[in-house]
Amino acid sequence: MRKTTFCTGLAMAAAMAWTVPALADETCMSPYIAKIQGIEDYVYVWTLGVEGMGDEQDKLVTIDTNPESKTYGQVVSVLSVGGRNEAHHSGLSDDRHYLWAGGLDSSKIFVFDIHSNPRQPQLHKVITDFVEKTGGMVGPHTFYALPGRMMITALSNNVDHGGRTGVAEYNNDGEFVASHWMPTDEDLRGAVKTGQHADGYGYDLRVKAESNVMLTSSFTGWSNYMMDFGQMLQDSTAMQRFGNTMVVWDMHARKPLKVLDVPGAPLEIRCAWGEDNRYCFTTTALTSQVWLLYEDEAGEWHGKAVADVGVPSEIPLPVDISITADDTGLWINTFMDGKTRFFDISDPHAPKQVFEEVIGSQVNMVSQSWDGDRVYFSSSLLNNWDKTGDADEQYVKLYHWDGEKLAHQWTVDFYAEQLGRSHQMRFGAYALYGKRPDADAKVAMAE
């Protein structure tokens, strides 16, 4: 039998912190949302359409991940949404009934119903007026649930398509609530500029609820993330427009407190799960470093570089990261060499790489199950940043991890199936909704 359990909400999550030895989310999501602690039934892959391939548009691809199912490791649903929106990241609502997925180019947000039929998601709502409602934010990126809310970081703006931007707040009905602009030198919004930078850029968002802290990182604006990667690397003007900051916010008040210098485009943020582990990690995409963001005994937050990823001068380009449930390990993918690396972070101030393996010619996202036994990888970084020719592999791969080595289980080739470029992965499970597999899935599992 599959073993799937779930819990919901802050109170329950907080209560379980003392009772469950390894409380964690399966892929480093908000502590406020329901979790899959057993085997996931599906992985939902937010996929970029490619000109000249299939129906050429973005789509949500559902892959069966239940090893007892007949269609295990196969695509079981494809839902096209219209347009090439620069499909990028997605996030689950706090009740995990809906998956919000954004387009960095069109700024459209597609809200999928994944609870009515987890095997076959439906398009529930399209939010088309994100730019207008937020007052000019462009490129919705991270979707991060807080109770009754969806926090959405943006990457750019409608004025100059540069990196100055903000965080939008929506309610669970998909209605706009508020805009929280990133602090700039001209308007620090009450924050303290602790170093040389207050660029106003944005990227990821995570919370360390025990500290009432929300952290944001910084990437680059539309002009760069939509530009051909090779063209951009040769454009010294464009290369000056990457983020060098992280911002520490008062989570409840949504007020920026401190702007920290983190040079070289800090991207994904992953916070430790242990109640007393008051720290988070990020990696800098351009300078290839692991940074620790940590709270000192006085309650002040700081940032410092604690490790290199590969050889920084070769620009391995760290992209997605994933922290283990027990806060002892951190997966770090590097796009350019197609490798995943596993760092021992038992001492968060001195991470050490203990494992590496090439996943493909290029690799971007990594998502692990809550128990860390299963690790999924996908390939696409950005539509105009992916590699060319034969190196443009597009896939989702599942590996099993025993703590020492990865064992490949299956690959879904997204080009062979005419799907497009595979980006972010989120998990689904029937048990989250007190359901059992529907008729189709039962048939699939019967044999």
Partner 1 sequence: MHNPARMRFRTLAVTLAVTSFCAVVYAETSGELDTPEEFDTSHTQGPGDVKEGYESRDYETRSRSLLKRRGVKKDLIRFAQNPPLGLPPVPIPAENPLTRAKIDLGRKLFFDRRLSINDTFACATCHIPEQGFTNNEMRTAVGVEGRSVLRNSPTLYNVAYLTRLFLDGREISLENQIWQPMTSHNEMAAPSIGWIINKIRRMRDYDGLFEKAFDGEEPNILTVGQALASYQRTLLAANSPFDRWYFGNQTNAVDESVKRGFGVFSGKGQCIVCHTMQKEHALFTDEKFHNTGLGYMISFSKGSKDAPKTTRVQLAPGVFVDVSNEKIEAVSQQKLPNDLGLYRVTENPNDRWRFRTQSLRNVELTAPYMHNGKFDTLREVIDFYDQGGIPNELLSPFISPLNLSEQEKQDLEAFLLSLTGSTVPEIVADAFAAPIGDLSLEDPNWAHEETLGY
Contact between 263 and 189 under an 8 Å Cβ cutoff? The reply is: no
Is the separation of the CB atoms in 361 and 343 below 8 Å?
no
- Letters for 44-83 (x = contact with partner 1 by CB under 8 A, - = none) are --------------------------------------xx
The yes or no reply on residue 199 touching partner 1 (CB under 8 A) is: yes
Q: How far apart are CA 108 and CA 47, in angstroms?
A: 14
Q: Which is nearer to partner 1, 1 or 159 (CB)?
A: 159
Is the separation of the CB atoms in 108 and 114 below 8 Å? no
Which structure tokens are listed for 336? 């350019």
360 touches partner 1 by CB under 8 A: no
d(CA 311, CA 303) in angstroms, rounded, equals: 21
> What's the closest the beta carbon of residue 15 comes to partner 1, in angstroms?
41
Task: Decide if residue 244 touches partner 1 (CB under 8 A).
Answer: yes
Q: Which residue has the tokens 């669970």?
A: 172
Stretch that binds partner 1, among 10-18, 170-178, 235-243, 406-414 (CB under 8 A): 235-243
Does 393 interact with partner 1 (rule: CB under 8 A)? no
Q: Is 288 left (phi over 0), alpha (psi -120 to 50) or beta?
A: left
* Structural tokens at position 327: 């806060």
- Mark residues 366-385: x for contact with partner 1 by CB under 8 A, - for none: -----------------xxx
Instruction: Kindly state the smallest distance separating residue 306's Cβ from partner 1, in Å.
Output: 17
User: Residue 128, interface with partner 1 (CB under 8 A)?
Assistant: yes
**How far is Cα 159 from Cα 133, in angstroms, rounded to an integer?**
15
Nearer to partner 1, 222 or 249 (CB): 222
- Closest distance of CB 257 from partner 1, Å: 18
How far apart CA 48 and CA 60 sit, in angstroms, is 9
Find the binder of partner 1 among 28, 60, 111, 131 (CB under 8 A). Answer: 131
Count of residues that interact with partner 1, criterion CB under 8 A: 72
Residues 249-268 that bind partner 1 (CB under 8 A): 263-265
Residue in 294, 145, 139 with CA at minimum distance from that of residue 202: 139
If one asks whether residue 228 binds partner 1 (CB under 8 A), the answer comes out as: yes
Nearer to partner 1, 265 or 412 (CB): 265
Q: How far apart are CA 275 and CA 16, in angstroms?
A: 11
